[in-house]
Amino acid sequence: MKQVLIRAGKVVVADVPAPRAAPGTVLVGVAASCISAGTEHAGIDAQRQPLVRRALEHPERVKAVVDLALQRGVAGAISAVRGELNAGAPTGYSVAGTVVEVGAGVADLAVGDRVACAGAGLASHAELVAVPRNLVARVPGGLSFDEASTVTLGAIALHGVRRAAPTLGEWFVVVGLGLLGQLTVQLLRAHGCRVAGLDLSRERVALALALGMDAALAADEADPAAAVKRLTDGQGADGVILTAATSSDDLLASAFRMCRRKGRVVVVGDVGLGMRREDIYPREIEFFISTSYGPGRYDPQYEREGHDYPIGYVRWTENRNMVEYLRLLAEGRVRLGPLLQGTFPVERAPEAFAAAAAGAAQPIVLLSYPGVLDAADAAAPPRRRVDLRPAPARTGSGRTRIALVGAGDFARGVHLPNLQKLSSAFELRAVMSRSGPGALRAAEQFGAAYATTDYDAVLADDAVDAVIICTRHDSHAAMALAALRAGKHVLLEKPLALTPEELEELERFFADEAEARRAPPVLLTGFNRRFSPHARRLRELLQGRGAPAMLDYRMNAGHIPLDHWVHGPQGGGRNIGEACHVYDLLGYLVGEPVETVQALSIRPGTGHLARNDNFVATLRFRDGSLASLTYTALGNRDFPKERLDVFCDGVVGELDDYRGLRFHGRGGGLKTRRQDKGHLAELEAFGRAVREGGEWPIPLWQQVQATRIALRVEQLLGRSPAEAGS
């Protein structure tokens, strides 16, 4: 499908794999999308800035690059930065079209429904978009797709008006008469308010007057506050809504001066927010920020997970604002015809963006699409694969042909660069991701044969020998099992499973294969720490021990906000999602089965921490060895994240964050130039197992054991301290 991307500060139209309707979403064939001149061009301008200026404005990004160089080396950091700079980013957040596919869990929409959609990174300028249900609104009968495609801008304007709490007969001033300002004027008029407007463009002022604005303030007025008092019988405005865009603080100060005593100012646009006490204190001016298009914005539980706010507690959510704006359009209470500058086919998107940036009086510029416009067209399957280069013929080189599944930051930062380093052993056949632009970006940067959003197609591809799965945790077990059943070898990022049932299903697969005397594909869970050179040196120490050993692992994990996906159903929590690494490493070092597991956690007295953020887990192995993990989110990032002390036969091994290993009581320590957690060695071991057969890099029983430990610890952390210690 065609999608508009911003690449190196330029607008481009690219062929991108079409998305799928994931659970809780609908797939929409877009008929029209609306360009937001202010927001979208700000993003384009930011990409055009020289790197030095961007670095000065965002010093935290410079630190991130420095940290990256320390982890991956200068060449790796340069490669990552270059890839980000050359990548195409989706743009757009307001579209209308026809539902062509409905995801699981969506019961009130059907194929063929006419809808309008919102959401940055979701309702993009593309032929097909997959949008969560709470960001989709039905289009009333008789309303055109062109008009409905302004739904996001309309909801933003409507929420700004709601923040101002207008009442019948009040005077308002709207500063900035672009699209948001024009809509705000009409919405205030629909509330029965009188409205004055201010803009540098006389044409925009004239357009607002033609659409019902009561009065205009001269842009060159020396004292706008005095002009407002003349309009309002000397009282001042009841409220001012700022829909302009400027970095200056003067506009806000002027808005305060326009208000009567106890008036209110609402900021909708991107304006300077420097305030002076004398502008607001004497008259007790009320100041409000209007956050995008209403309650629910920036809340992943609402937007992505579909958890609505009860109407009895939150009357106007994002979705309800969208629905109400569309109703006002359908009833003619808001008019868009005079605001339309033009409609361009998506192939002419660069021209359309240039027109939107030209500052014409008519602020609405639309893109049109030749895609799915009615339910009958839904029979044609969306194109979910984009070929980038011909697939090379299979040779006798013995290279393993890989499909990478899930092209997030970790995959792009670790696995894909490592595949390049090991190009003599691996060939990158495909990159698959739920995001078409994300799949395309990684495939182009790392030289894959194709990009796709279709996992089933990857599994059906005979030219794929193995998959590397880097998706969110709740999908791991099911995706790994599907790949194994398709005969693909699997390198699965941790964790192996989130539930006992998922783990049992995987075990059953291998048991069935063994019973049928078939050699199953290789399964390697990404417990990479055991492949670190430091861990291997420690293993050598412990293999020849004459008595049980003591191992003390400390993970200074750092705080992650509780609304992060890691804590939710997709992540399974930090014990299952991250501490499983340590359970595997401890089992690898001792080399014995675990017999007992105990765990205690801090009971958080605050909503800042989760119950599995801070805990101690203790393992007893069959030979009597003891190992403990102290996992905490209470520490400081200046302290190393991971440390391990091993006590064995009069020797102490001290592992410092996978950078250094010291032995006390014997020689043979190890120091590496960079942190080495074993990712490259893990991939090498996976490749050897796939090509040569024989023993797996991690025996299945050890992968299962680490997962069972994590599940048991999770169970213990949910119990009372007395129960957990029994």
Q: CA 158, CA 168: separation in Å to the nearest integer?
A: 16
Q: CA 102, CA 110: separation in Å to the nearest integer?
A: 7
pLDDT confidence tier of residue 219, bands split at 50, 70 and 90 = confident
Residue 161: per-residue pLDDT: 98
Q: How many angstroms separate the first and last alpha carbons of the chain?
A: 59
Return the higher-pLDDT residue of 419 and 544: 419
Of the candidates 33, 31, 27, the residue with the CA atom closest to the CA atom of residue 349: 33
Return the higher-pLDDT residue of 11 and 57: 11
**How confident is the model over 682-722, as pLDDT tens digits?**
999 999 999 998 899 999 999 999 999 999 999 999 854 44
352-363: average pLDDT: 90
**How confident is the model over 190-201, as pLDDT tens digits?**
999 999 999 999
- The radius of gyration of the chain's CA atoms, rounded to the nearest angstrom, is 30
Beta bridge partners of 287: 265
Residue 277 pLDDT greater than 90, yes or no: yes
Residue 63 pLDDT greater than 60, yes or no: no
**How confident is the model over 616-648, as pLDDT tens digits?**
999 999 999 999 999 999 999 999 999 999 999
Q: CA 391, CA 110: separation in Å to the nearest integer?
A: 38
Under 8 Å between Cβ of 289 and 296: no
Residue 162 pLDDT greater than 90, yes or no: yes
Residue 117 CA neighbour count, 13 Å, CB half: 35
Residue 77: per-residue pLDDT: 57
**How confident is the model over 575-608, as pLDDT tens digits?**
999 999 999 999 999 999 999 999 999 987 777 8
Residue 82: per-residue pLDDT: 57
Helix (H) / strand (E) containing 204: helix 202-210
Mean pLDDT score of the chain, rounded to an integer?
91
Residue 361: per-residue pLDDT: 87
270-298: average pLDDT: 94
Of the candidates 61, 44, 55, the residue with the CA atom closest to the CA atom of residue 7: 44
386-396: average pLDDT: 70
**How confident is the model over 483-531, as pLDDT tens digits?**
999 999 999 999 999 999 999 999 999 999 999 999 999 999 999 999 9
Return the higher-pLDDT residue of 605 and 446: 446
Domains of the chain: 2-150+300-373 (3.90.180.10), 162-289 (3.40.50.720), 398-525 (3.40.50.720), 528-725 (3.30.360.10)
Q: How is residue 474 annotated by DSSP?
A: G
Return the higher-pLDDT residue of 45 and 385: 385
Residue 157 neighbours by CB distance under 10 Å = 30
Under 8 Å between Cβ of 612 and 633: no
Residue 375 pLDDT greater than 80, yes or no: no
Of the candidates 139, 157, 46, 148, the residue with the CA atom closest to the CA atom of residue 91: 46
User: What are the tokens at 525?
Assistant: 């869970």
- The SS3 assignment for 668 reads coil
**How confident is the model over 643-652, as pLDDT tens digits?**
999 999 999 9
Q: How is residue 180 annotated by DSSP?
A: H
**Measured between alpha carbons, how far is residue 521 from residues 7, 401, 491, 526, 665 in Å?**
40, 14, 11, 16, 43
Largest Cα separation within the chain, whole Å, is 96
Summarize the chain as % helix, strand, coil (round to 5).
40, 25, 40
Beta bridge partners of 28: 99, 129
